[in-house]
Chains A and B, each alone.
Chain A
């Protein structure tokens, strides 16, 4: 075979598999759009009479609040995520090995728990201010000029400290995978380590930063637990109010769809900005050697990495430990705690596995096929993440209940007895909601991993006669394993924490840890909920630890490339 024939064969896309990718992608996108159809169904029922009022009195303020919240959270997660990822990759300093994985811990803290915890801790009659007042001998509870956490600034800080791992995780993975050769090349050309970071490492990390920041911002945008509790009136809160207080699901669906269009436009703009760039650099066979930092520099690095862990994890976790301990002393463990834990684990695990598997299929399709339609379908498949969870769940009710009723009537026609609503009562509806809600995390994470695998590998495999299945199983999956594990972890932890969809779509007598925490908090018996909240956090920590071990192992493994 001549050289040109090899190239032709390698670059020719087999039409049959192209169709497979397209059909598969189309199916996933169709299911992903189901809740949107549901929302359109609701929105179309409304006449839009609310809009004049919304435009005059609600949306301008809500839009401004939302923009400021996103801007603040965006800056915070970018700065914390990138700086800590670079520090633990490029330098050696006291505590680095611990920080490497501990920086992920805030992932396990639900935003509503974060809000409760901090309000309790920093309230004028809470332990922090009371302690300080006793120290200075101040009697008036207002004696300390503490700003109120129930404010936009408070919401930005609290969300920033639990959402930065969304940036840290992909960026760190990328820094680890970046070969030393590029950094060393820049160093031998006389660039300082910082300049190498600014001009080489950071630009190469852009896709990972973009994915991480957009995930964190979606989380912040769709948060209702913390923002509502802290009195921050975002667009999501406005949707919620329109639905619940004004009893207008129609109006809520209309606002949600408009918001969705804006989010989607922003995502598209960001991707267009990256179009045509290739980020897969040369792969050295060793990662960069971290440079030791001694003395003051080492201390500063240690403090910089410790701060986000302290605020995003240690404070809320200790608060939970103390509250849970009080509750256990009073009345022992709630009898059903293990059942709720089992429910949470089972549903989160099934959803995480499904979501990663489908995400892998879609990301692979995107890599193998150049069809624009397919790439559009892949973007659509992640749409569930851009809709507030409550709204997504309501939108999903329409198609799910429709399908359920259809099945019920069908069975009734055959056996003469209705089986009831199978999808709703089995929890299948809930699993589907989780998958749709978090598909974007899986797709984004896996695509970011793919950018580090050079297309020449695929061509080599093709030219050696490997089909897409073999290429995926034999080469991509092993190379992607850190990215797959990271995506799985994020989805799993997110499902454990998920609240609005779980509340609305669950079967009878079905309680998860998150719904229990919420029910107790709503009743004001926080301490009963603290035990379950602590279990959420502890279970969320386990995969983080596993991932950390996988991460260190990966770096010892010689890299193919």
Chain B
């Protein structure tokens, strides 16, 4: 039986040792030249290939923390001494939020302005879009004959009990609902969302890939999900069953009823307000907008590159030509809170 004092002494020593070695490393990390610190909400598997490639090219070491929720809170509370240089997020709403909360700084860079279309970056350079993902419709190959569909069609009574979708509160969906609010007004949007709720085959929930799996299982005929999951499934990166899921569906690039284009959400990055390695952060941003990096976005993650002249992955290209809905992203971002409340009001997830 260990005596308690020995136990406590041992624990304290271990804790101290761990802390000192780690902080010795950390102290070296924070402000050494030739480094860049990234806070990201992108899954490590998606961002690591980009960072590795950047380090290889420039010799700058990239330190990364994958934060799921609370990235903004962490940067805000860390304040002036925050080690964060680049904030990378998967959703456009979060980008605007970071800028609105004063956590970013304006970057003037001719390289970025040339590489990224004006509607995908902030006019003052507070944030930059780096890749796009289309919110598409998965339809059963066997049971759905439509060649084209609009988002509004999901509320059509002919799909009663046939629609599958993840939680209405997921950012990808609130962003889509916000776009409907911006286009058709809140009353029409509410009616539409109520109609989709009536058509649900099962409770809203799970992930986007579950839509394809449930279509394969004949639980539903149509559903809404992101474009890159088609690439992940059909390429076999998620294992052999997922190939089967991906092959059970036909992908339709939908539009709103105005036929203007498909809803996309944009992932991107911003330089942190108190970045200790600002120059390297800008270098990394410029690298992420460069041709080789944009190709990694397309090939490894099956996203749509923002840079003109970089092709999407063949699996994604064969889904059809993407026409991006011209509604400004900022108009969508304005309606997101209302969209989220609408989800509650119609009891979409109930």
Contact = CB atoms under 8 A, between A and B. Distances in A.
Nearest to B3: A473
B205 interface: yes
B77 A151 contact: no
Contacts of B238: 524-527
A497 B26 CA distance: 25
A508 B350 contact: no
18 contacts: A57-B341, A125-B241, A151-B203, A231-B204, A245-B174, A247-B337, A323-B239, A346-B18, A350-B18, A353-B11, A401-B78, A420-B29, A420-B31, A425-B23, A503-B67, A507-B65, A524-B238, A525-B232
A354 interface: yes
Given A523-B46, A524-B242, A231 B349 contact: yes
B309 interface: no
Interface string A390-410: 100110011011101100110
B77 A150 contact: no
Which DSSP category, helix, strand, loop or mixed, fits chain A's interface? helix
A523 B345 CA distance: 30
A526 B239 contact: yes
Interface of A: 53, 57-58, 61, 119, 123-125, 140-142, 148, 150-151, 228-231, 233, 240-241, 243-247, 249, 323, 326, 346, 349-350, 353-354, 357, 360, 390, 393-394, 397-398, 400-402, 404-405, 408-409, 418-422, 424-428, 431, 472-473, 477-478, 481, 500, 503-504, 506-511, 515-516, 518-520, 522-528
Contacts of B27: 419-420, 422, 425
Interface in B298-350: 336-337, 340-341, 344-345, 347, 349-350
Nearest to A242: B340
A510 B65 contact: yes
B206 A233 contact: no
B218 A142 contact: yes
A249 B44 CA distance: 25
A53 B257 CA distance: 30
B87 to A, nearest CB: 14
Given A61-B347, A357-B8, A426-B26, A508 B37 contact: yes
Contacts of B345: 57
A486 B202 CA distance: 41
A424 B7 CA distance: 26
Interface residues of B, number: 81
Given A140-B218, A150-B205, A420-B26, A504 B74 contact: yes
A240 B349 CA distance: 14
Given A53-B344, A354-B11, A473-B4, A507 B64 contact: no
B256 interface: no
A85 B202 CA distance: 38
A397 B45 contact: no
Nearest to B39: A508
> Top 7 A-B pairs ranked by shortest CB distance?
A231-B205, A425-B26, A420-B30, A124-B217, A426-B23, A401-B77, A508-B63
A478 B3 CA distance: 9
A510 B78 CA distance: 18
Contacts of B80: 405
Given A425-B29, A527-B238, A357 B217 contact: no
Which of A140, A243, A509, A524 neighbours the largest number of chain B CB atoms within 10 Å of its CB?
Answer: A524
Nearest to A401: B77
A507 B22 contact: yes
Contact of A245 (B73, B169, B202): B169
B81 A421 contact: yes
Contact of B218 (A141, A246, A515): A141
A346 to B, nearest CB: 6
A226 to B, nearest CB: 11
Nearest to A501: B70
